Amino acid sequence: MDRIDYLEAGGCHLAFRHRAGRGPTLVFLPGYMSDMEGGKAGALDTWAAREGRAMLRFDYAGCGLSNGAFEEQTLARWRDDVLAMVDEVVEGPAVLVGSSMGGWLMLLAALLRPEQIKALVGIAAAPDFTSWGFSEEQKMTILGEGRLVEDSPYGEAPYVTTRAFWESGEALRLMHAPIAIDCPVRLLHGQQDEDVPWTWSLEIARQLRSADVQTLLVKDGDHRLSRESDLALLTGTVAALMERL
């Protein structure tokens, strides 16, 4: 699927790839500083092509092929990008698959579009990571200097967190109360994850109001869950879930 289209949303042109097929439409939400060309998105798109399923993947504002300055973006802005895609590109019901930060965004979107979003799949979902993902010293740097720059284990580009993003995340925290989502949810997590503790998926499952929640732990899996066996687990989980919808 080579064609790239653009959606104007909030003053930015958001790049997306949409594969036509039978619904619900599978929508992939990348993690922080990631884009729609990653291995998990590609694996799901390959599965969708094989099964004749509708699939949408896209880049948040300031990421990948979408325009905008990365350091000007916030969690609220990226939540609104998800909603714009669901509202204007997806036709009919959707199933969201969120990786890391994308798992936070999928929960925020599902709360706001409960009729359209029929199921969720989280991969090392990381809601509220602005609260627990930084030391007190790092938070003071973010607040005092306006940005925190760290080395990234996933590429050459540094990992940058701005004060605007951090404050937006703190304003959108979910885990302090029951999460009023009733659709089926599947949470995949590697127990060797050094970025998001695997126990966090258990806590998400506990907080979700839905009774149809399953947590799938991969004992030797890392944060990315991008090995062939991990991708097979992901596509198998998505396939089984979507067959029920």
Q: How would DSSP label each residue in 24-71?
A: EEEEEE--TT--TTSHHHHHHHHHHHHHTEEEEEE--TTSTTS-S-GG
Please state whether the predicted TM-score (pTM) of the whole model is above 0.85: yes
The pLDDT tens digits of the residues spanning 71-90 come to 999 999 999 999 999 999 99
Residue tagged active-site, from 45, 80, 81, 193: 193
State yes or no: is 229 an active-site residue. Answer: no
CA dist 67 and 6 (Å) reads 10
The model's pLDDT over 107-128, given as tens digits with 9 standing for 90+, comes to 999 999 999 999 999 999 999 9
For 19-57, write each residue's pLDDT tens digit. 999 999 999 999 999 999 999 999 999 999 999 999 999
For this structure, is 18 an active site residue? no
Q: Which of 66, 100, 168, 226 is catalytic?
A: 100
Return the biggest CA–CA distance within the chain. 51
Where does residue 3 rank: exposed (0-12), middle (13-18), buried (19+ CB within 10 A)? exposed
- Strand blocks (E) in the chain: 5-9, 12-19, 22-29, 53-58, 94-99, 117-123, 147-150, 159-162, 185-190, 213-218
Instruction: Give catalytic status of residue 223 as yes or no.
Output: yes
Which residue among 66, 201, 223, 230 is the active-site one? Answer: 223
Architecture of the structural domain at 9-243: 3-Layer(aba) Sandwich (3.40)
